[in-house]
Amino acid sequence: MKYVAVTACPTGIAHTYMAAEALEQAAKSAGDEMLVETQGSAGSTPLSSADIAAADAVIFAADVGVRDRERFAGKPVVEVSVKQAINDAAGLLAQAADAAQREPAAAPEPTAAAPELASKVVAGAGFGTRLRQWLMTGVSYMIPFVAAGGLLIALSFALGGYQITDAPPVTEVFDPASLLSWAALANQIGTTAFEFLVPVLAGFIAFAIADRPAIAPGFVGGAVAVTVGAGFLGGLVAGLLAGAVIAGLKQVKVPRGIAGIMPVVVLPLLGSLVVGGLMFVVLGKPIALAMAALTGWLTGLSGANAALLGALLGAMIAFDMGGPINKVAYTFAVGGLSIGTTASLEIMAAVMAAGMVPPLALALASAVRSKLFSPAERASGRAAWLLGASFITEGAIPFAAGDPLRVIPSIVLGSATTGALSMTFGATLRAPHGGIFVTPLVGNPLLYLAAIVIGVVVAAAAVLFAKRLGRQDAAEPAPEAASAVPA
């Protein structure tokens, strides 16, 4: 059999590629041919028209809308979530084979796929699901700005110390032979990148709701939110507002002569006027007051309260290993980076530390007591060392897929421990990603590493204890785990 597949997850990072690997491995084991298009954050190489025409069936393993799906018209399609592909790729191939027998494939008409922006929204989903997907669209487009800006700012502090923020503009003073000048340059570029966070978030939330005409009103609303001090929360509101306004305006019937200019002139103009006006005059100040209260609460956190928040965020990061709950905690931490208080930097450090614990703990457990794990899980454990060190929590998925009742509570316990300890130790971090490799940029790095080690040991011990309860040593790979070995 010949199959083609498309994999895509809300953030386009780990799940997208793990699902592709699982499908490819399952097809290889079955003697079938599988070509996968990964619509992830690193971009994708589209499947050729010839490959699609030759395919017996198509698998869509996606939690978001598949781009250019009209290319596959006429083909039998099996459509599932990304986690289903990771957990049971062999079962999906069986479904695809059945679909191919029931519906003989017709060659689709070749189409020229033009590059375009893509939202993360699946048509026909419920309101709650769509709301989450709207927000995740904004977050996914914002993350590159967060990563670039945060890492540049962190690098500037490493090179020039925290006083580098007081350096004069590099447009006025820049000495190529001075390390401090380069630190100031990195800081000012990173700060500039951070200024786009809220407008980009708002613009692409609006885009996910009402397509391209909503981008300009969303950006304008996000910029106004920054101007009036409404910050990250204001960006969320502005994006949702802009999307709703444009979606409403699209319903208005207009003469044919005006319809042609509606998307590029009328809708952006009216949307920007309405959203900007509401943010300036009506909504901005109350949201700014709420942001000030949130900032004050974060700044005042100490002792048991800070530890409790760290434990909660750590538990959320570990619970679904890159899923929606994980992304809520991560987005909360990233949003705090724009505030820039010590407490918000402590939250970012706690979240990243907690996110490293699940893969590292399972790698440790599978190395210490290998007989309790299947061969596939032991292979996953060897890869999990690097995934965990890189802050890719999804490295724990193969273990959780095969034994969720024992694995998930254990890693939640370990990550909660690390989050609480990191907050208690006062570790800070401006970099939104990087894992163990950005430790030189961490405030209180030794205590930060100690928090990670303690959480890893706690989680690993909990997993080993749980697996010893009522379970024989694993001799054969669990079917779920065998199809879930990560890239």
Distance CA 303, CA 316 (A): 20
Three-class HEC string of the chain: CEEEEEEECCCCCHHHHHHHHHHHHHHHHHCCEEEEEECECCECCCCCHHHHHHCCEEEEEECCCCCCHHHHCCCCEEEECHHHHHHCHHHHHHHHHHHHHHCCCCCCCCCCCCCCCCCCCCCCCCHHHHHHHHHHHHHHHHHHHHHHHHHHHHHHHHHHCHHHHHCCCCCCCCCCCCHHHHHHHHHHHHHHHHCCHHHHHHHHHHHHHHCHHHHHHHHHHHHHHHHCCCHHHHHHHHHHHHHHHHHHHHCCCCCHHHHCCHHHHHHHHHHHHHHHHHHHHHHHHHHHHHHHHHHHHHHHCCHHHHHHHHHHHHHHHHHCCCCHHHHHHHHHHHHHHCCCCHHHHHHHHHHHHHHHHHHHHHHHHHHHCHHHCCHHHHHHHHHHHHHHHCCCHHHHHHHHHHCHHHHHHHHHHHHHHHHHHHHHHCCECCCCCCHHHHHHHCECHHHHHHHHHHHHHHHHHHHHHHHHCCCCCCCCCCHHHHCCCCC
C-alpha distances in Å from residue 21, one per residue of 5, 60, 86, 92, 443: 11, 14, 8, 13, 37
Given the structure tokens 């204890």, which residue do they identify?
Answer: 465
| Angstrom distance (rounded) from CA 384 to CA 314 | 18
Q: Is 315 a catalytic residue?
A: no
Alpha carbon distance 102, 120 (integer Å):
31
> Residue 244: how many CB atoms within 10 A of its CB?
16
Instruction: Give the phi and the psi of residue 196 in degrees, each rounded to 5.
Output: -85, -10
Catalytic position from the list 4, 8, 9, 224 = 9
CA dihedral 448, 341, 316, 469 (to 10 degrees): 20
Q: List residues with catalytic annotation.
A: 9
